[in-house]
Amino acid sequence: MTTPPTAIIDSEAVTGAGRPIPVVDPANEEVIAEINEAEDELVDRAVLSARAAFERGDWRCMSVEDRQKVLRACADAIDAAADEIADIECSNTGIPYSAIRNGQIVRSANNFRFFADYIGQMVSELYEQESDYLTFVRREPKGVAGLISPWNSPLALGSMKVVSAIAFGNSCVLKPAEHAPLGLTRLIEVIQGAGLPPGVVNLVNGYGASTGDRLVRHPDIDCISFTGGTRTGRAIMAAAGEHLKPSIMELGGKSANIVFDDADFEQALDGALIGIFSNNGQQCLAGSRILVQRGIAKDFIEAMVERTRKVRVGDPRDPATEIGPLANRNHYNHVMSFVPEGLDNDARVLVGGERAPGFDKGFYFSPTVAEVDSNSHRLCQEEIFGPFASLMVFDTDEEAYRIANESRFGLVGYAWSRSIERIMAAQERISAGTIWCNTPMMRDLHAPFGGVRESGVGAEGGRSAEMFYTLQKTVSIPRRPLKLRKLGA
């Protein structure tokens, strides 16, 4: 059993004396680490370290070229430690090793490279409406960012938050999720050696209601970026609002995946399976409501059930595994609680809906598809956040859009059709922050990623991050000496 640091402050690992947080391997339920929670005093120290780094200015005022070099060195450091971080992350999250090693870690390093490139391309505004003046708008870093990340994709999401904040000259304090802190804590340790001045990236481990809340409310935190559940987001936004702190909220989803009757059947089927079962089904952007047009519904449902039955559930370290265990016991119980919902008069579990056979230990849940008759059913309205698809049949395109938009969430929409008219209509009619047309899960880091309604406020991504993590400062300078009025002359 390891004892990872409670915090990373001023580039140093710190072990606190707070209550121990047991960290469990979801594949075998063994406690693999214990972390002492960061108590108020350590949170305060981390924030003050970030504040001091910001005031000192060695990062904020560093030339763009030098900052780019450091961000690229962070990416290289992540690459160099990739095997080690992947190993830790696999034990802590149950996500298949190959998806971590070849997906999330590569993405984490690329997040740093992307923002290194981005800051080299930033442009500023210049106005010349008044002939005697040049008025320009500078973008300055906001200050100290409080970053709170979830357990479902700790590395990709946590690294995105950190680099989005620091690329523009801010410093930050990151709080990983208490259930899955190990990989991200190690990643933050690893990048400290890449040339970041002390205090630019700090980390505190702990529970949300204590460590997280202290961080959000700290007067020296200038802005908050949160990814997690909608209920938590509401509480954090209220706390941030009390202190008038700007915040980005990346929250839950219950996204519609519309398969029209003229879709490329195989592509749509593959896309639907990827959309719901990737990352052990624990994805905000999952296509968790699959809407199939009646003409192809029978064949599509049969094929979906057949393929779902064959999805390989297993040890996340086995290269053949496609779905590992759910992340923790509470979450396993949450996903299980939806099974009876799939057995009432309006819903039928077609495959899965049980503990995955063959496992005595671990939070293994069978990939599940339920056919549901009404979109008002709980299976269609609540975020299950597991490998559990709700499938509905529709007749007309209008009906599909109505069902897609009948949701308190609005993170993503998927549409499958060979007709360009239908695709163009779908991307307009589905109310969500991102629409994937004839593809599952495509993420271009330039583009904003954020939700509407209860899926969030604000967005991450190149330009969106620039807008959020920088302040606009307007500067006016006369082109030549002015003839000012001589008051009192």
By annotation, the residues acting in catalysis are: 250, 284
Question: Which residue minimizes CB distance to ligand NAD?
Answer: 208
Instruction: Look up residue 282 and give its two tokens.
Output: 């624990």
Q: Determine the interface stretch with ligand NAD among 17-25, 31-39, 93-101, 250-258 (rule: CB under 6 A).
A: 250-258
Tell me whether residue 407 or residue 417 sits nearer to ligand NAD (CB atom): 407
Residue 279 lies near ligand NAD (rule: CB under 6 A): no
Beta-bridge partner residues of 145: 172, 223
Q: Rounded to whole angstroms, what are the CA distances from 79 to 104, 160, 203?
A: 11, 15, 20
Nearest to 279, CA basis, from 151, 125, 459: 151
Q: What mask, x for binding ligand NAD by CB under 6 A, covers residues 382 to 421? A: -x-x-------------------------x----------
User: CB atoms < 10 A from the CB of 74, how many?
Assistant: 31
Instruction: Look up residue 121 and give its two tokens.
Output: 């391309």
**Residue 138, φ and ψ in degrees, nearest 5:** -95, 155
Tell me whether residue 177 or residue 200 sits nearer to ligand NAD (CB atom): 177
Q: How far is the CB of 328 from ligand NAD (least distance, A)?
A: 9
What is the rounded distance in angstroms from the CA atom of residue 396 to the CA atom of residue 259? 12
* 131 Cβ contact list (under 8 Å, min separation 6): 479
Tell which one of 236, 256, 400, 415 touches ligand NAD (CB under 6 A).
236
Residue 17 lies near ligand NAD (rule: CB under 6 A): no
Tell which one of 20, 229, 246, 448 touches ligand NAD (CB under 6 A).
229
* 485 Cβ contact list (under 8 Å, min separation 6): none
What's the per-residue H, E or C state across 154-217?
A: HHHHHHHHHHHHHCCCCEEEEECCCCCCHHHHHHHHHHHCCCCCCCCEEEECCCHHHHHHHHHH
Tell me whether residue 385 or residue 394 sits nearer to ligand NAD (CB atom): 385
SS3 content of the chain, % helix, strand, coil (to 5): 40, 20, 40
351-370 residues near ligand NAD, rule: CB under 6 A: none
Q: Determine the interface stretch with ligand NAD among 103-111, 135-143, 149-157, 316-324 (rule: CB under 6 A).
A: 149-157
Q: What mask, x for binding ligand NAD by CB under 6 A, covers residues 179 to 218? A: ----------------------------xxx--xx--x--
Q: How far is the CB of 67 from ligand NAD (least distance, A)?
A: 26
Q: How far is the CB of 148 from ligand NAD (least distance, A)?
A: 5
What is the rounded distance in angstroms from the CA atom of residue 288 to the CA atom of residue 291? 10
Binding residues for ligand NAD, rule: CB under 6 A, are 148-152, 157, 175, 177-178, 207-209, 212-213, 216, 227-229, 232, 235-236, 250-253, 284, 383, 385, 411, 451, 456
